[in-house]
Amino acid sequence: MSILNPFTFIALVILIYSAILHEIAHGYVAERLGDPTARLLGRLTLNPRPHIDPMMSILLPLILILSGSPIIFGGAKPVPIDPFNLKEGRKDVALVSLAGPFTNVILAVSASILFHLLAGNLDPLNTPWGWLLVLQILKTIVSLNILLAVFNLLPIPPLDGSKIFALILPEKTAATYLAIGNLGAGLILFLLLLPTGFQTLIGILYRFCLGLLGF
């Protein structure tokens, strides 16, 4: 995806709103489990302003695009969660963490179903450009949401997968392991810009999931 490609803007909007829905899901599940922090701070909204993080929502995707990275990734400002309000401690933290990637999977599967229904009923040699644009948007929704789900489920702090993985660790070990997440966006950017290994791993998982959806 080139920075000169006019579709880049549409893809960035899709990425931002996919990340916003990811964060809203965290907050909604946290509220269902006893923590209303996200709602009290106005984060259960589709209004992008409370969710936009300058680094994760704008700068990181642009850096990856400009660097020619095959993986375009971003995120919204993390929804605040107070684990002391949750009913079952680390178990509920894991459920809250799982809600975000699960939402991205639901978005990807839904867009995939619509894509295949439309593509199966269109003549590839006589399709108006408007419908081709719709198909491209649906394909981008699938692609970016699968990428968000795969990436966030990696057991690397501060990603969601680390909080799920921490559930099987002893409490003190889990606390030390999750403390790596204090490095935040800097750690994520470093891993994404590594020469090959990390991107290769994500690419394999990403292509496998896309294959399951028929792409």
Indicate which residues carry an active-site annotation. Answer: 23
Q: What CA–CA distances, in Å, run from 119 to 36, 96, 140, 151, 158?
A: 42, 35, 14, 28, 38
34: left (phi over 0), alpha (psi -120 to 50) or beta: left
Closest CA to 42 of 15, 20, 57, 58: 20
Report d(CA 172, CA 96) in Å as an integer: 21
Report d(CA 147, CA 149) in Å as an integer: 5
Report d(CA 23, CA 17) in Å as an integer: 10
Closest CA to 28 of 110, 106, 102, 99: 99
Amino acid identity of residue 144, one-letter, is L
Amino acid identity of residue 54, one-letter, is P
Report d(CA 166, CA 169) in Å as an integer: 5
Positive or negative, the Cα torsion across 135, 140, 141, 145? positive
